[in-house]
Amino acid sequence: MATTRTKPARPHRTRFPRVGDTRGLACNLLAGLLLILAATGAAGPLDGIVAVVNDDVIVQSELQAEIDLVLPELQSRGTSIPARDVLEKQVLERLILKRLQLQAAERLGIEVDESTLTEAMTSIAARNGLSLDELRLTLQQGGIDFESFREDTRAQIVATQLQQQAVMRNIRISDAEVDRFLEREGDSLIQRREVRLQHILIALPDNPTQSQIAAARSKAESILGRLRGGADFASMAAAESEGRRALEGGDLGWFPMAEVPTLAVDAAQKLAKGETAEPIQSPSGFHLIRISDIKGDDPEPVSQTHVRHILIRTSELVSDDDAKRRLDQLRLRIVGGDDFGTLARAHSDDTGTALKGGALDWVDPGATVPEFEEVMDALAPNEVSEPFKSPFGWHIVQVLERRRQETTDALMRMRAEDALRRRKAEEATEIWLRQLRDEAYVDLRLDAGDY
């Protein structure tokens, strides 16, 4: 058993929802709701401490409540449930990471106001086809306290803002990275309408033996190796395939995405033009599927905004009220005739744009956080916004002009940058969470028999 601390710790029982996935707050909240409604057999009010996390604690009742949420999630995925002691340790580690993130958010002064929280709750209700009052009733019927669920929702919004501030703002995508991505994976960005497939079949007899299956698999893998080494697919199909289209080079023709054979759906959705999937086994044998061509929808023109901003970041010394008050004063000066760029150079905390008078240049849709984009899109040219808050701090924004960018290249580069940013975000979040865990004081008491 680890040495315990004599200083009493204050129990803190707010469950901190998962923040690793930034791809849709409302969807995560909805999933959380469904899991909570599915969970049964909640634990009683036990107080045994199972972990100390810095100056906070996790108690047994929290651990049991989290297990009650995890179990239906595992069952819905068809995942084997580990042994009880293993499950407890895994779930406890997840709770520790949640608690550490909550503490980090508190240190940074990240809070969620009532209007933002009400908007999120309304969104959850709407996604379930309910009004806010109906959501309250549904939760109560499921044995869930509405205020507790509301605070869980607040915690997840805080978590998302923390990730934006601690991870996302540090991600940079270079032009060279975009160029390399487009060269290697550009086809994956096309909205696919149709794909042209090629096929090689290594057939199996009825009721094959294990040795026959192994031999067919080995042959398929050998052919795949030769293809990836530069061999021509059509020639290999004509020589080796036992499929009906072997003499046509294995060409199966064009398929609308909705009509792609089930066997080839995954390859049709994910592979780039010219790539061949790993061997796929079916009762008839082993299949090699190649994406020989792709037809995509023509990209729509991009609406771009030329914008500049002034950012005031909050800290232990600068509160939300302080930041908003400073920006209110700066806005009054700009409206009164002072130059926006001059004030941005003197006052903005965004060092990357301050020297350029706050200019972000031409901004594509989706290139900024939702809070910023919503305000920016509502402004007329030359209009200056009221102060507003984003995960980076408090801003005022001025739209200079707008244009329609008709070039396909611009849209493809925007999509590539967005894909790279999501990819880097996953990696950066994992590194940041490990660092957060390594730097924390954590006293595990799960094996101590304290509960």
Chain centroid to CA 156: 13
Is the pLDDT reported for residue 96 higher than 50? yes
Q: Quickly state the pLDDT bin for 76 (edges 50, 70, 90).
A: low
* Distance between CA atoms of residues 277 and 175, nearest Å: 30
What pTM value is reported for the model? 0.48
* pLDDT at position 399: 94
At residue 57's C-alpha, the angle toward residues 55 and 60, to 5°, is 175
As a whole-number percent, the residues of the chain with pLDDT over 70 amount to 83
Q: Is the pLDDT of residue 192 over 80?
A: no
* Residue whose structure tokens are 């390859």: 267
* Helix segments in 336-442, DSSP class H: 340-347, 351-354, 370-378, 408-438
The answer to whether residues 57 and 445 touch, using CB atoms and an 8 Å cutoff, is no
Q: SS3 for 285?
A: strand
Q: What is the pLDDT of residues 364-419, one digit of tens each?
A: 887 788 899 999 999 999 999 999 998 889 999 999 999 886 556 767 787 788 87
Identify the CA nearest to 425 among candidates 175, 157, 168: 168
Closest CA to 327 of 234, 396, 378: 396
Whole-number pLDDT of residue 7: 33
CA atoms within 13 A on the CB side of 112: 22
Percent of the chain with pLDDT over 90: 34
Whole-number Å distance between alpha carbons of 231 and 208: 29
Region 62-91 average pLDDT: 79
pLDDT of residue 159: 79
CA distances, 408 to each of 297, 331, 364 (Å): 11, 37, 13
Q: Check residues 216 and 115 and name the one with the higher pLDDT.
A: 216
pLDDT at residue 13, rounded to an integer: 35
Comparison of pLDDT for 13 and 187, the residue scoring more: 187
All structural domains of the chain, each given as residue ranges with its CATH number in brackets, are: 10-170+433-448 (1.10.4030.10), 192-296 (3.10.50.40), 302-405 (3.10.50.40)
Show the tokens assigned to 50: 């199972």
> What average pLDDT does the structure give for the chain?
81
For residues 372 and 390, the answer to whether their CB atoms sit within 8 Å is yes
Asked if residues 70 and 89 have their Cβ atoms less than 8 Å apart, the reply is no
Is the pLDDT at 322 greater than 90? The verdict is yes
The pLDDT of residue 343 is above 60? yes
